[in-house]
């Protein structure tokens, strides 16, 4: 029975190796896995602050209907909370309740 399970595993390994174009792979755990989406790091608080500083004043409202001047006037504490919200949405991939 053990020999049969090794044979079956070897056939499956060969099948998926060919299917995934990973010739010569003996152990799937040793291969580097690739995702369809690139792994992008979270935005840092500094990048968040810099992005707010770069907003142009007196422009048309965006989809959120909040003027750039509001974000610029928020101050550090509110910007920090805004950054936390962005990180939450980034990680959970949904808006909080």
Residue 66 vs residues 31, 49, 56, 71, 73: alpha-carbon distances, Å: 47, 17, 13, 8, 12
How confident is the model at residue 67, as a pLDDT?
87
Residue 10 burial (CB count, 10 A) = 11
* pLDDT tens-digit readout, 42-63: 778 888 888 888 888 888 888 8
Structure tokens at 72: 């610029």
* pTM for the whole structure: 0.47
- Under 8 Å CB-to-CB from 13, ≥6 apart: which residues? 25, 26, 28
Structure tokens at 15: 């099948």
* pLDDT tens-digit readout, 20-45: 665 555 555 555 556 666 667 777 88
């Amino acid at each position: 029975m053990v020999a049969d399970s090794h044979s079956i595993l070897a056939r499956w390994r060969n099948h998926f190796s060919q299917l995934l174009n990973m010739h010569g792979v003996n152990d799937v755990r040793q291969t580097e896995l690739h995702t369809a989406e690139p792994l992008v790091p979270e935005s840092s608080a500094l990048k968040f602050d810099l992005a707010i500083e770069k907003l142009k004043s007196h422009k048309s409202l965006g989809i959120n209907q909040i003027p750039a001047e509001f974000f610029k006037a928020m101050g550090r504490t509110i910007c920090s909370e805004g950054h936390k919200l962005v990180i939450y949405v980034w990680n959970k991939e949904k808006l909080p309740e």
